[in-house]
Chains A and B, each alone.
Chain A
Amino acid sequence: MAELAAVVGIGQTKYQTKHKDVSIAGLVRDAAFKALQDAELTWDDIDAVIVGKAPDMFEGMVMPELYLTDALGCNGKPMLRVHTAGSVGGSTAIVAASYVQSGMFKRILTVTYEKQSESNAMWALSNAQPFSPHLNAGAGGFFAPIIREYMRRTQASPEAGIKVAVKDRLHGARNPLAHLQLPNITMKEVEESPMLWEPLRFLESCPSSDGACALVISNEELAKQSPKKPAWIRGTAMRSEPTMYAGREEVSPRAGIDCAKDVYAQAGVTNPRKDFDCAEVYVPFSWYEPMWLENLGFAEKGEGWKMTLEGATSLDDNGDIPWNCSGGVLSSNPIGASGMIRFAEAARQVRGDAGDHQVDGAKLALGHAYGGGAQFFAMWVVGSEKA
């Protein structure tokens, strides 16, 4: 049977367009060091280091974890590198948790990052391959037609996407680490922002950020001795399906539905909207909030956009199930780290340590990440109590 594992330290850098103040090694070390400080530990207390990031081409480095070992105090220890596309931040946290759950390690450090300013992420994502027409208009070009299909099926009000764009930026304004700081953003401003990939506007899309996020995860015995409140890992799940296959449901992928069912069962969640106090969900384009509300069972099919418009997911509207209190991916997006930030922010909430974006008395939270053509999913449930 699995050992209990808990998050005992969380470290994040400030998220911003360019971190010119630090090297790549400096960036990951900053997050790792803050996680150790949070847990009141030193490098010597760590048994293994698990690194995750999105494609190596984002920084032009091959298998960068090899170079990062010195910066992460890993010499002489085990080092593992995870890469599962955009879900990598979440899956890295899950792999890291399994080091402890296996009983083979007592306490590990896990770090994810992206320093997109050191290369050209748009180029790396749309890297033209010979023989295929150069139409890959970035991630937005891939997801916009899927969003259009969601809007057609549900007859959603166009305002729903705009509302998410405003809501997540207002949440982000409460979080000093968030990249975009737009405390005065309005629906009108979002609506008038340039169209990029119709129906997606500029302000309905995520920024491109530099940043890193780190967690210290320990077993039950060490977590109980930890100076700050641990976030107990109550369930973890991953699911993958192929990018394209005949009859694939792209608007609400089965991999997401199955992954949620799995992690809810582990954590004893039967009604996500009621059982969770908040959720950090990977929403890189505004419309993915209503789409994931339905995919994850927070809303009935076709009703996600109404829930968003009613303010149910907004801290500022006193919603009953706030989503992305940290500002989410729409406010900060260091791709490789974005999933882990969701997991870390869920943990901050149940530790009661989320500052101005804290949900009062949060006891149970969901962390969610997805990647590829919305085909790779990673989720965890963290709680203030062990069970």
Chain B
Amino acid sequence: MSDANKEALEPITGIESPVYLDYNFTAGQATARFLTKVKEGKLVGQRCPSCRNVYIPPRGACAACGVATNEEVELPHKATVQSFTIVYIPIPGNPIKPPYVIANLVVDGANISFLHLLSECKNEDVRIGMRVEAKWKDPSEWGFAMENIQYFAPIDEPDVPAEEIGRLKDA
């Protein structure tokens, strides 16, 4: 067999075929209202007309009841750690250097958690029930994004028992 033929039999195991698609992302009406308030430094959730639970960020519906949420509720900037993980693995495109803490946080008056960064403490000191507060960036940097809050940091308040985090208080 000639060298040329040998080369012709080299197996092709893959081709590069990048897919580029452009999208104009839409956040949804409820999220758009929420982000407009975040740009003003406010955390505004929405209350379900049926079960009275407060959602933040709101997604336009109470997922449990399947009904639209419209009533807006401005919430304080303190929260409780519902659970957390310490991330050691670098994520493609993520500028934050591991290890860092991401926590499921329940803002006071809300009945659902969202993920955000936790900082200003040792990773090993983070615990379920810990009280934290939003640390906002300088208002000049605020945009339509949750990154307006740089991270949450611990505050000197007693821990909340795990069973009570995010539970609707009897009215």
Q: Which residues of B contact A (CB under 8 A)?
A: 13-14, 17, 19, 25, 27, 31, 35, 48, 51, 53-55, 62-64, 82-89, 91-95, 99, 102-104, 111-112, 115-117, 128, 144-147, 162, 166-168
Contact = CB atoms under 8 A, between A and B. Distances in A.
Interface string A127-151: 0111111111110110011101100
A22 to B, nearest CB: 10
Interface in A168-205: 194-200
A6 B64 CA distance: 36
A152 interface: yes
Contact of A246 (B51, B87, B145): B51
A122 interface: yes
A208 B162 CA distance: 34
A195 B112 contact: no
A374 to B, nearest CB: 14
B149 to A, nearest CB: 8
Contacts of A146: 83
Contact of B92 (A120, A131, A195): A120
A373 to B, nearest CB: 11
Across the A-B interface, the 4 shortest Cβ-Cβ residue pairs: A246-B53, A242-B63, A145-B83, A144-B85
A216 B55 CA distance: 45
Nearest to B32: A131
Given A132-B146, A133-B147, A194-B88, 17 more contacts: A128-B93, A130-B27, A134-B91, A135-B102, A136-B91, A137-B102, A140-B89, A149-B82, A149-B83, A149-B162, A152-B128, A197-B85, A243-B63, A245-B112, A246-B51, A246-B53, A246-B54
A152 B81 CA distance: 13
Interface of A: 20-21, 60, 118, 120, 122-123, 126, 128-138, 140-141, 144-146, 148-149, 152-153, 194-200, 242-248
A305 B91 CA distance: 30
Contacts of A20: 13-14
Given A20-B13, A197-B89, A246 B83 contact: no
Contacts of A141: 85, 87, 91, 102
Contacts of A133: 115-117, 145-147
A135 B35 CA distance: 17
Nearest to B163: A153
Contact of A122 (B86, B91, B145): B91
A130 B91 CA distance: 17
Contacts of B19: 60
21 contacts: A20-B14, A60-B17, A60-B19, A122-B91, A129-B25, A130-B27, A131-B25, A131-B31, A131-B145, A135-B102, A136-B91, A148-B128, A194-B88, A196-B87, A197-B88, A242-B64, A244-B63, A246-B48, A246-B166, A247-B64, A247-B168
Given A20-B13, A128-B93, A243-B63, A137 B87 contact: yes
B83 to A, nearest CB: 3
A11 to B, nearest CB: 23
Contacts of A60: 17, 19
Contacts of B88: 194-198
B112 A126 contact: no
Nearest to B18: A60
B116 A137 contact: no
Contacts of B115: 133, 135-136
Given A242-B63, A245-B63, A134 B86 contact: no
A5 to B, nearest CB: 33
A195 B144 contact: no
Contacts of B87: 137, 141, 196-198
Nearest to B61: A242
A198 B86 contact: yes
Given A141-B87, A246-B168, A247-B167, A131 B144 contact: yes
B124 to A, nearest CB: 10
A323 to B, nearest CB: 25
Nearest to B51: A246
Given A148-B128, A246-B64, A138 B144 contact: no
Contacts of A129: 25
B104 A152 contact: no
A21 B83 CA distance: 43
Contacts of A153: 162
Contacts of B82: 145, 149
B92 A21 contact: no
Nearest to A199: B85
